[in-house]
Amino acid sequence: MAGAQAGSTRPMGSGLLKQIALFGGGLLVALLLDFTLDKAISDSSIRQLLMMAACNILVALSLNVINGMAGQFSIGHAGFLGLGGYSAAVVSANLHEALGGGEATFGKSFIVVPVSLLVAALLSGIAGLFVGLPSLRLKGDYLAIVTLGFSEIFRLVIATAQIGDKETIAHAWSSAGSPRGFVHAISVMITSLGGQNGYAGPKDAGVPLYAGPFWVVGLAFVLGVVAWRLKFSGWGRALRALREDEIAAAAVGVDPTRYKVTSFVISAVGAGIAGGLMAMNRDGTPIVQPDSYNFQASFDAITMVILGGSGSVTGAAIGGVFVTFTVKAIELLQSTSAVQALKQRFESLDLNALRMIIYAAVLIALMIVRPEGLLGERELFQKKAPSPAKAK
């Protein structure tokens, strides 16, 4: 029998116990973090940074399914993140009201977070299905344009809504019998998302921040394991084969249509969850804004995946952390007195632009030294396959 390749064949027996130990252990650590993080790290901006890193790991992991494993090129990941973010914000805020408002307690989070994330994942997944369908006919640049189109349309539909008129959604729907009334009701719903100013709950009291470290770190861990297992499953193998050669893959019975569309849906579901967690992040801001989901966000996601190594799960995680910390490092740099002084002299100085320079420099350097990214397609903790036993 063959030696085991990472994660694909492991000795059988006590499998269930191992699984319980794995997930139980991960979630336990997350649970401990939930109660101790506030005390251990008093600086809320550092906490925020850590939570952002965990969320960005999910962003990178989900994009890695399309851009890394399936070899498609999506530059519209922000659209799925935004869809997840807005859905989770709306659901959690309304659910919070329905539960009587008040404090966003840990206990209530076990109702609010799963429901919100489920809706976020579902809506994102459906969007993924529709964006994924063109991927059957389009390749490369053309597909990239479709994904970008999707994310920009999503963002602009929300950002350009005319706010001001305070009609309630219920009222609008009550007169939605005619096609015109229906369109009006839809537009009232979009308007209720707050346009450019952002959405902060039905009463503008802010999105309840239910997702503490337990949820953020716990889900990052669980979904990380899922991503790993997807890669080292028959499905992941078939997807990678499809990326290498579509005709040959079809010739051995791998239906390109099914695999491509599923990869888009799975990626979108992951992004929906990541976006939802970001929107409800306890250490985040209680508002979701369209500008968080602009092209820059998609580009950051691409940077994470390419930096870490397209197709590598651990690589994507490293990329997610790296990008998060770069953002933070520049923020810190920006608040130093030297930079502040410079800013007084040159008003248009924007250090956020520096981020692009750093990315560009790192990416260029990486492409020269390691064109396949930090890890390539390999994994950090991948067991080196033992030499295969001789076939009889």
Partner 1 sequence: MDLTLKNVTKNFGGLRAVGDVSFTVPDRSIYGLIGPNGAGKTTVFNLVTGVYKHDEGSIHLGKTDLRPLKPAEIARAGIARTFQNIRLFGQLTVIENLLVACEIDKKASLLSSVLRTKVHYEDESSMRDRALELLGVFDLAHTAEEPSTSLSYGNQRRLEIARAMMLKPKVLLLDEPAAGMNYGEAEGLKKQIRWLRDTFDLTVVLVEHNMQVVMGVCEEIHVLDHGETIAHGTPDQIRNDPAVLAAYLGEEADGTATLASDADAKAPSAKGDEASAKEPGAKGDEASTKGDEASAKGDEASAKGDEASAKDAKGDERGGKAGEGSS
Interacting residue ranges for partner 1, rule: CB under 8 A = 1-3, 5, 8-10, 12, 15, 19, 226, 229-230, 233-235, 237-238, 240-241, 243-245, 247-257, 262, 311, 377, 385, 387-392
Closer residue to partner 1 (CB): 48 or 262: 262
Instruction: Locate all alpha helices (DSSP H) within the chain, ordered by sequence.
Output: 15-40, 44-63, 77-98, 106-132, 140-159, 169-174, 179-191, 213-231, 234-244, 246-251, 256-280, 295-308, 313-335, 337-345, 352-369
Q: Hey, what are 38's tokens?
A: 């506030």
d(CA 254, CA 18): 32
Residue reference for tokens 């999506």: 74
**Contact predicate 216/284, CB 8 Å:** no
Amino acid making up residue 217: V
Nearer to partner 1, 227 or 321 (CB): 227
Which C-beta is closer to partner 1: that of 345 or that of 390? 390
* For partner 1, the closer CB: 87 or 263: 263
Contact 275, 124 (CB under 8 A): yes
Q: Which of 297, 5, 263 is nearest to 155 (CA)?
A: 297
- Give CA–CA dist 81/87, Å, rounded: 10
Whole-angstrom distance, CA of residue 330 vs CA of residue 86: 27
Min CB(10)–partner 1 separation in Å: 7
CB atoms within 10 A of CB 103: 8
Minimum distance of partner 1 from residue 139's CB (angstroms): 17
Question: In the complex with partner 1, which residue's Cβ is closer, 4 or 163?
Answer: 4
Round to whole Å and give the CA distance between 15 and 13. Answer: 5
Q: Which is nearer to partner 1, 133 or 351 (CB)?
A: 133
Q: Which two tokens stand for residue 249?
A: 């893959």
CB 331 within 8 A of CB 49: no
Pick the closer one to partner 1 by CB: 262 or 334. Answer: 262
What residues pair up with 288 in beta bridges, in sequence order?
Answer: 199
Q: Which of residues 247 and 369 has its CB atom nearest to partner 1 in the complex?
A: 247
CA 207 – CA 199 distance, rounded (Å) = 8
Q: Select 3 or 140, whichever has its Cβ closest to partner 1.
A: 3
Nearer to partner 1, 171 or 383 (CB): 383
DSSP secondary structure letters along 125-194: HHHHHHHHGGGGT--HHHHHHHHHHHHHHHHHHHHT--------HHHHHHT--SHHHHHHHHHHHHHTTT
